[in-house]
Structure 1
Amino acid sequence: MEPDVVIVGAGPVGLFLGVLLLQRGRSVRILERRTARSNRSRAIGIHPPALKELQRAGLASGLVAEGIRIPRGVAYSRGKRVAELPFSGDPGFPFILAVPQPVTERVLEAAVSALDPQALVRGANVHTLIDDGGTVSIGADSPSGALGFRTGLAVAADGAHSRFRERFEPGARARDYPDYYLMGDFQDTTGHGHDAVLYLEPDGIVESFPLPGGVRRWVVRLGAPATSPTAGGLAALVSARTGAAPDPATNTMLSPFGVQSRLASSMVHGRVVLLGDAAHEISPIGGQGMNLGWLDAAALAPIIDASLAGEEVGRDVRRFERARGRAASKASRQAGMNMALGRPMPPSALSARNRLFATALRVGCVSGLVERRFTMRW
């Protein structure tokens, strides 16, 4: 088969790029190792800049209809309200949208299928990728047998553990952070409505986000990796630090994770492009990774289209790499600041930091700057 573009990975980023290229009339194959969508909901937050790109592709309304609009973040510490930060700076999308990742993937996959029912190939485990300078040859195993593709361009959107990043960027070493977390979804009994809530506590931060269906996600910073996590253990940690009491019997997802970052020095390697987490893995604290990948895809799609039309795009490619590299660096620094905000502190130091934080957010220009940083409107 000889599609214009082959995308490896059918996560949110690969699917979105597929939609954008199919809308431009390009033939696309999206190769996904998984035989079915995962039910695990990790990435949930969609920020205004990504919503704008999704809107241009005709996808935002479907996601907004299935999500929860988070109008503001509210911070508490030891039972007292510290500050709040409205997410209202973007007039088109004055909120952060919370959507479970399986829902996001379902909406994107439906859009791909509507444009080309054959575009997504599940169960395709790519084992060979050869760039001969003129075309890219790709081989994959599948339940139905061997698959072979010859294409003008391959895009690796295969996530933070990308095999192709390891191949093209062997020197892109990961930076490990001393931060470990446990997150889980429970029935929401907090009374916080659609607010995102941060509990700034001496033993470390607890984050809480609303999800559709009366569910709330809890994320607790730990002092060490969680070895045998349980819903009851997470609920006990939340209760001890915040006073809230998630019911372990209502738990629908539980996931421990550590944090590392890895920024590729180049996204473009001949006729192969690294996209999203494959190009820049950053901390999930702050929910920027999926959004960063979508903005990558929105910037890349018109360049691919022009290249396939025979236009000279060398200068555009260089601008793309510089701009997306800067965006990834900003996102990584912001994620680092988010993690630092949540590390344990002595009570006296925490109180002083919280007073400074609250005073600063009462200044309009400071509040606006912080809001732009948190919503990726740099």
Structure 2
Amino acid sequence: MARVTERVEVAIVGAGAVGLLLGCLLAQRGVDLIVLERRPAVSRASRAIGIHPPGLAALDAAGVGDAVRREAAGVEVGIALGGGRELARVPFGDRRILSLPQHRTEALLRERLAQLAPGALRTGAELVGLQQSVSGQVELELADGARVAARWAVGADGVRSTVRRLLGIAWQPRPGVAAYAMADAPDRTGAPGAALLCLEPDGIVESFPMPDGQRRWVARLPGPSGPTRMEPLSLAALQRLLRERLGVAPELPAAAKPSSFVARQRVATEFTRGRVALVGDAAHEISPIGGQGMSLGWLDAVAFDRALASAAPHERDGAALEGYARERGRAAARAVRRAAWNMRMGAPAHGAARVARLALVRILGLPPARSLLVSSFTMRGL
């Protein structure tokens, strides 16, 4: 590589929710860092809304937990329904889940990072090259010709991670793939604190409370899982699908912008390579149904920060990250298995298969099995 133009302790590639939270954790300890974000502007697209208890603890550690609580809606209970009849009710108690659009969570994290490390976030900074030297240094080349040298580097750059690609780390598929469409609408369910899981013959419809009296509706699409990227379902088509499945469907406002996506599950074969680590969606893609992907990434960030805090001052070969890789690899494997089960339960089912599934849901809604559902939904053990 050409001459280095900047030197830092840690370079984070990706300024999504996970990269920003990691930047805050490191900056609080006085670590000299840079956060490189390819996008020049902030995205407001519909993405994650669920903040689970371990994720909220990570936000507390980064100093934004109270701000999130002030803005978020609370999910107090999960209710499973079939044909309009209640099958099971799972109260979360003191492990309730919060709901806040990802762009607002990221805005709070950006504000916090700017307070802790002014100028650390660089937008419009696209990574095009990465090398590790024998002297214990990671060198990053940007599209504009700038070169950054760091003692450690982190790929927090999402499912299509450039860091993972440049490292040559494989991306292995795991069970679970399906297509979904979603849109937000005013909440007229009469259950503002409830997550509703409607297990219908042609596929699940889920809905979750959001701030300001809104509710997100997510429907599994029929047929094959579809391509890697999908054209959004039209508003009229999504409204029709919801009405066919639910009978009395929410009225989606004319201004609603439905989005469609394919949920896939994949895990990196390695979470670290030398002095570079992968966190969040760069390390593992899990189904967003249940909303656990963002919180899982925050737990990666907490674990990485902890690993670096315990690293020897002159650590060169990345041995300090071995424990991080083992711990987060196991957590990702558990999360993938849970998400695959959730996807199977929401798949289309008719006849005897549907009767059996609804019976299982009723059983799982009763003690002692209900405690297992609470643990799974609230990310205990990850």
* TM tier, smaller: over 0.9
Alignment of 1:322-333 (within 5 A): 322-333=326-337
The answer to whether the 8 Å contact 1:140/1:147 transfers is: yes
The aligned residue for residue 18 of structure 1 is 23
- Distance in structure 1 (CA, Å) of the matches to 2:351 and 2:295: 35
The aligned residue for residue 264 of structure 1 is 268
Deviations 1:331-372, CA, capped at 9 Å, x for gaps: 000100000010111144323321332133222x21111110
- Distance in structure 1 (CA, Å) of the matches to 2:31 and 2:87: 51
The answer to whether the 8 Å contact 1:182/1:254 transfers is: yes
Structure 2 residue corresponding to 1:137, chosen from 133, 136, 139:
139
The aligned residue for residue 112 of structure 1 is 113
Deviations 1:155-178, CA, capped at 9 Å, x for gaps: 110001112222334432334745
The aligned residue for residue 101 of structure 2 is 100
The aligned residue for residue 64 of structure 1 is 69
The answer to whether the 8 Å contact 2:281/2:297 transfers is: yes
The aligned residue for residue 375 of structure 1 is 378
CA spacing shift, 1:103–1:228, aligned 2, 3 Å: closer
State TM-score, norm by structure 1. 0.92
Matched position secondary structure for 2:7: coil
The answer to whether the 8 Å contact 2:207/2:215 transfers is: yes
1:212 to 2:208 alignment: no
Task: Give the counterpart letter for 1:300 in structure 2.
Answer: F
The aligned residue for residue 3 of structure 2 is none
1:353 to 2:357 alignment: yes
The aligned residue for residue 149 of structure 2 is 150
Cα deviation for residue 310 of structure 1 reads 3.6
Deviations 1:163-194, CA, capped at 9 Å, x for gaps: 22223344323347451111111222222212
The answer to whether the 8 Å contact 2:207/2:217 transfers is: yes
Alignment of 1:80-95 (within 5 A): 80-88=85-93, 91=94, 94-95=95-96
1:291 to 2:292 alignment: no
Cα deviation for residue 151 of structure 1 reads 1.0
Structure 1 residue corresponding to 2:54, chosen from 49, 55, 78:
49
Deviates more, 1:249-258 or 1:67-76: 249-258
Deviations 1:301-328, CA, capped at 9 Å, x for gaps: 0222333734699665222211111100
Matched position secondary structure for 1:179: strand
CA spacing shift, 1:54–1:313, aligned 2, 3 Å: farther
The answer to whether the 8 Å contact 1:156/1:278 transfers is: yes
The aligned residue for residue 39 of structure 2 is 34
The aligned residue for residue 202 of structure 1 is 201
Deviations 1:66-112, CA, capped at 9 Å, x for gaps: 11010011111111111111112xx4xx3101010100100110010
The answer to whether the 8 Å contact 1:263/1:280 transfers is: yes
Q: Structure 1: which 5+ runs fail to align?
A: none
- Distance in structure 1 (CA, Å) of the matches to 2:47 and 2:137: 35
Deviates more, 1:334-343 or 1:130-139: 130-139
CA-atom RMSD in angstroms? 1.9
Cα deviation for residue 292 of structure 1 reads 0.9
1:342 to 2:346 alignment: yes
- Distance in structure 2 (CA, Å) of the matches to 1:121 and 1:52: 27
- Distance in structure 2 (CA, Å) of the matches to 1:178 and 1:21: 35
The answer to whether the 8 Å contact 1:45/1:287 transfers is: yes
Deviates more, 1:166-175 or 1:261-270: 166-175
Task: Work out the percentage of aligned pairs sharing the same amino acid.
Answer: 41
Cα deviation for residue 264 of structure 1 reads 1.4
Task: Give the counterpart letter for 1:137 in structure 2.
Answer: E
Task: Give the counterpart letter for 1:37 in structure 2.
Answer: V
Deviations 1:257-277, CA, capped at 9 Å, x for gaps: 112222112211012111111
- Distance in structure 1 (CA, Å) of the matches to 2:156 and 2:314: 24
The aligned residue for residue 242 of structure 1 is 246
- Distance in structure 2 (CA, Å) of the matches to 1:253 and 1:176: 30
- Distance in structure 2 (CA, Å) of the matches to 1:313 and 1:228: 46
- Distance in structure 1 (CA, Å) of the matches to 2:318 and 2:148: 25
The answer to whether the 8 Å contact 1:186/1:251 transfers is: no
Deviates more, 1:168-177 or 1:256-265: 168-177
Cα deviation for residue 242 of structure 1 reads 1.2
Task: Give the counterpart letter for 2:350 in structure 1.
Answer: P
Q: Structure 2: which 5+ runs fail to align?
A: 1-5
Deviations 1:229-258, CA, capped at 9 Å, x for gaps: 111211111111113433333443321111
